[in-house]
Amino acid sequence: MRTIVLFLTYYTCAAYSLINPTFGLLFFCHITIFRPESLVWNSIAFGRLHLITSVCVLLGYLFKRNSGDGHLVNTYQKANLRIFFLFVLWLIIVSIFAEYSVQLSLDKAIDVAKIFGFCFLFSRLITTERKIEAYVWVTSVSFGVLSFWGFLQGLQGNSRLDTLWPGGSNYIAAQLALMGPFTCARIFDSRLAYRSRIVFLACSLCIILCSIFTDSRGGFFGLAIGMLVMVGKLKSRLKVVAGLAMIAVLAYPWIPVNYQGRIASIFAAEESRDESANSRPVLWNIALRMWGNHPIAGVGLKNFSIVKERDRGQFLDLIESDEMYNLIFDQQRDPHGLYTGMMAETGIVGATLFLILLLRNVFWHRASLDAQSEKYSNIHLQLKGAQAGLIGFAVAAIFGDFQYIEMLYLQVFFIGAARGYLESLETIDAGNLAECNVMSRGVPRPVTINTSL
């Protein structure tokens, strides 16, 4: 019965995307986060939901783009698209010259190209305050509900978090580091109704608890760094610290007893760490050596593990025990780090393009817009929360291969959308001020003749 209800609900929403592509885009964000196929234990009924939804959104956009809804001219977002396009193009080139498997590399490059297509639609559809607000609500609440479910699974000792995503619970933890500051920032929006702020508070609490129960040290460390960055970015720091302290007090009773020791192991000496933690620097060094052998284009996407096995003789001096050897070789292993992994698999060009796209959105700042932050506080809060989340994700990505997660790129393009919207308001305000100055000097306003039919 549950499968039938979910099937009708979700596919109806997908079909409605033909009429309202913005709704469809937000719906796609929801199913990307919540994975409805996991609600019914991977039923084949939802096997094509993502594809059908994306096609309906594209068709809906093509039908509606000439309907009179003008698109914001956003030069910053256009630059994001250009950089992302060059990144995708480079991944295709890398795949053609892959060291071992062209097909594996090309399959992953096509996945990234699909993300680019959806980010293009995002840049065209999310252009107004109302749509920006809708995106914030959909993503924050979806992650909040997902996190609540994950928290309950963790309390019961279930391993469902490890099977929800193809990359396991580490992928979820990285996204919680990305979205935690983004969701939490909204709590401090004084323009938001009290009950709505309670919703964001609950979602933030669930995100933190779920991050703990993913058992990902890197993910939780990234979330903590992102939250600290958010404190530094927001003006009412005392209020923000008080809010985070309240969340910490609420979360504390649910934290497993042994979790503090697990987090502390991140900074422990090598001899005190477990073999799993010690294997990570070994994989990083293997990736760096692999990049040294293929500095421009790398070995190809998803080719790291195969090349590691083929050229193992070059890496044996990094292995200090039989247990470490068994952890590294004769099995599928990824680089276990976004940056070293990208250098090994895409070369210096791919890693540079990725970092340009990431860092330009992390560190963008414009003083003239900050001066108007009170007037547009809701957008500014979300913009700063998104930037803090990107920093948290960037820290978590040191410990995992997260460069192909859709939400990372959607958050980058959210920052582009928010910036473009704020700049459009600045332009309008400047125009209004100039008009007032002209009128105050007694100069008649120019008459604008509309020649359109």
| pLDDT tens digits, one per residue of 298-329 | 999 999 999 999 988 889 888 888 888 888 99
Percent over 70 (pLDDT), the chain: 80
Q: Determine which helix (DSSP H) or strand (DSSP E) holds 86, and give its type and residue range.
A: helix 75-96
In this model, does residue 264 exceed pLDDT 70?
Answer: no
Task: State the pLDDT at residue 177.
Answer: 95
Task: State the pLDDT at residue 75.
Answer: 84
Confidence of residue 430 (pLDDT cuts 50, 70, 90): low
Distances (CA, A) of 356 to 59, 80, 84, 361, 425: 31, 9, 9, 9, 26
Q: Longest Cα pair distance anywhere in the chain, in angstroms?
A: 87
Task: State the pLDDT at residue 57.
Answer: 93
Task: State the pLDDT at residue 367.
Answer: 56
Least confident of 197-211, 254-268, 278-292, 330-344: 254-268
Task: State the pLDDT at residue 192.
Answer: 86
Burial class (CB in 10 A: 0-12, 13-18, 19+), 282: buried
Least confident of 71-80, 142-151, 392-401: 71-80
Task: State the pLDDT at residue 450.
Answer: 43
In this model, does residue 162 exceed pLDDT 80?
Answer: no
pLDDT tens-digit profile of 179-232?
Answer: 999 999 998 888 888 899 999 999 999 999 999 888 888 899 999 999 999 888
CA nearest neighbour of 94 among 83, 106, 76: 106
CA nearest neighbour of 366 among 299, 301, 420: 420
Q: Which residue has the higher pLDDT, 113 or 277?
A: 113
Confidence of residue 138 (pLDDT cuts 50, 70, 90): very high
Q: What is the DSSP letter of 71?
A: P
Q: What is the mean pLDDT of residues 375-397?
A: 89
Task: State the pLDDT at residue 433.
Answer: 46
pTM of the predicted model, to two decimals?
Answer: 0.87
Q: Which residue has the higher pLDDT, 432 or 321?
A: 321
Using the structure block, give the residue that is written with the tokens 């252009």. 127
Confidence of residue 453 (pLDDT cuts 50, 70, 90): very low
Distances (CA, A) of 89 to 86, 95, 296, 351: 5, 10, 14, 13
- CA separation for the pair 368, 422 (Å, rounded): 10
pLDDT tens-digit profile of 269-303?
Answer: 555 556 667 788 999 999 999 999 999 999 999 99
Least confident of 3-17, 74-88, 151-165: 151-165
Confidence of residue 38 (pLDDT cuts 50, 70, 90): low
Task: State the pLDDT at residue 86.
Answer: 97
- CA separation for the pair 94, 301 (Å, rounded): 8
- Hey, is 189 helix, strand or coil? coil
Task: State the pLDDT at residue 143.
Answer: 95
- CA separation for the pair 346, 84 (Å, rounded): 14
Radius of gyration of the chain (CA): 24
In this model, does residue 448 exceed pLDDT 60?
Answer: no
- CA separation for the pair 123, 409 (Å, rounded): 11
Task: State the pLDDT at residue 67.
Answer: 57
3-state helix vs strand vs coil in the chain, percent to 5: 75, 0, 25
- CA separation for the pair 266, 216 (Å, rounded): 11
Contact partners, residue 338, CB within 8 Å, separation at least 6: 397, 398, 400, 401, 402, 403
Task: State the pLDDT at residue 265.
Answer: 61
Mean pLDDT (the chain, rounded): 83
Confidence of residue 240 (pLDDT cuts 50, 70, 90): confident
Confidence of residue 88 (pLDDT cuts 50, 70, 90): very high
Q: Go through 308-326 and write b for each residue having 16 or more CB atoms within 10 A of its CB, e for each that does not.
A: beeeeeebeebbeeeeeee
Contact partners, residue 389, CB within 8 Å, separation at least 6: 177, 178, 179, 180, 181, 182, 226, 230, 411
Confidence of residue 440 (pLDDT cuts 50, 70, 90): low
